Amino acid sequence: MPFESKAQQRFMFAKHPKMAKEWASKTEDIKHLPEHVNNKKAEHEKKSSLEECFTKIAQKNLKGLIRA
C-alpha cells in the first residue's frame, strides 16, 4: 500500500518502521505527497461504498421477497 500523505509517512516510520519501508517502496513520488489527506474526500468515499453495500443487500432482499 503506498503512502497517501506526508503525515501518514511520518507516523508509520515512527510507529511501524518495517511496514513503512515496504510502503515507501510502493510509493511512486514521495516528495509530492500532500501534507494531509482531505478528510471530506475520504468520508465521501466511505459513504459511497456503504451506500453501495446497502443497495446490494436491499436488492437481494427484494429478489427474495418477489420469489416467495
Cβ contact 3:30 at 8 Å: yes
CA gap 19, 17 in Å, rounded? 6
Q: 40-58: per-residue pLDDT in tens?
A: 666 666 666 667 777 778 7
**pLDDT of amino acid 30:** 84
Residue 24: Cβ within 10 Å count: 14
Q: What secondary structure does DSSP assign to the chain, as a single string?
A: -----HHHHHHHHHH-HHHHHHHHHH-S-GGG--SS--HHHHHHHHHHHHHHHHHHHHHHHHHHHHH-
Residues 23 and 42 in one domain: no
How many structural domains is the chain composed of?
A: 2
Q: 19-36: per-residue pLDDT in tens?
A: 999 999 999 988 888 898
Residues 50 and 24 in one domain: no
Residues 33 and 43 in one domain: no
Residues 17 and 5 in one domain: yes
- pTM equals 0.53
